[in-house]
Amino acid sequence: MRNIILIGFMGAGKTAVGNRLSKKLGYEYIDTDQYIEEKEGMTISNIFAEKGEEYFRNLETSVIKEWMLREKPTIFSTGGGMPLRRENAELLKELGVVVYLKAMADTIYDRVKGDTKRPLLQCDNPKQKIIDLLEIRNPKYEAACDFVVCVDNKDIQTVAGEVTKLL
């Protein structure tokens, strides 16, 4: 039983699919952002606003290192930026099977529009920001993963089923 790590852009469904998978497979479940918020006693938005993105990115690297010491099989839902640092991508592959939940910009925009909890999308034109970030990030997600699952037009159950079949 290897750990499963879900990576992908904001709104790809990493948290919802991770939750579903942990119930389906009986694995423990950790959501990166929630873990960091509890550890710091602050929301992600406040961490970005008060301590800066670099501080948050360093926290992401340090929590992956903590997870390397865990023994129980676990599903990890990562924050959308976590696998972008090469060091993190390498650590995540060591941690377990990395699955990229891949979504098109339209799918992402539909899911995150109106959201106020994602600091990177609090801008005048979030749709364009998604398109721009996705172009930069997609090759990095592809390089960081063992498998890709496309999530457009699929519900959580279907995506979780597809991930299970890869194992």
Task: Summarize as ranges the residues that interact with ligand S3P (CB under 6 A).
Answer: 10, 14, 33, 44, 79-81, 118-120
**Shortest separation between residue 107's beta carbon and ligand S3P, angstroms:** 14
For residue 3, give the 3-state DSSP assignment. Answer: strand
Ordered DSSP codes for 14-36: HHHHHHHHHHHHT-EEEEHHHHH
**Shortest separation between residue 114's beta carbon and ligand S3P, angstroms:** 14
Residue closer to ligand S3P, measured from CB, 95 or 101: 101
Nearest to residue 64, comparing CAs of 95, 29, 104? 95
Residue closer to ligand S3P, measured from CB, 44 or 64: 44
d(CA 167, CA 4): 9
Q: What is the sign, positive or negative, of the torsion defined by CA atoms of 88, 90, 144, 161?
A: negative
Counting Cα atoms < 13 Å in the Cβ hemisphere of 15 gives: 10
| Per-residue burial over 30-51, b = 16 or more CB atoms within 10 Å of its CB, e = otherwise | bbbbebbbeeeeeebeebbeee
Residue closer to ligand S3P, measured from CB, 1 or 142: 142
**Shortest separation between residue 119's beta carbon and ligand S3P, angstroms:** 5
Amino acid identity at 83: P
Residue closer to ligand S3P, measured from CB, 42 or 120: 120
Residue closer to ligand S3P, measured from CB, 53 or 90: 53
**Shortest separation between residue 71's beta carbon and ligand S3P, angstroms:** 25
**Shortest separation between residue 24's beta carbon and ligand S3P, angstroms:** 20
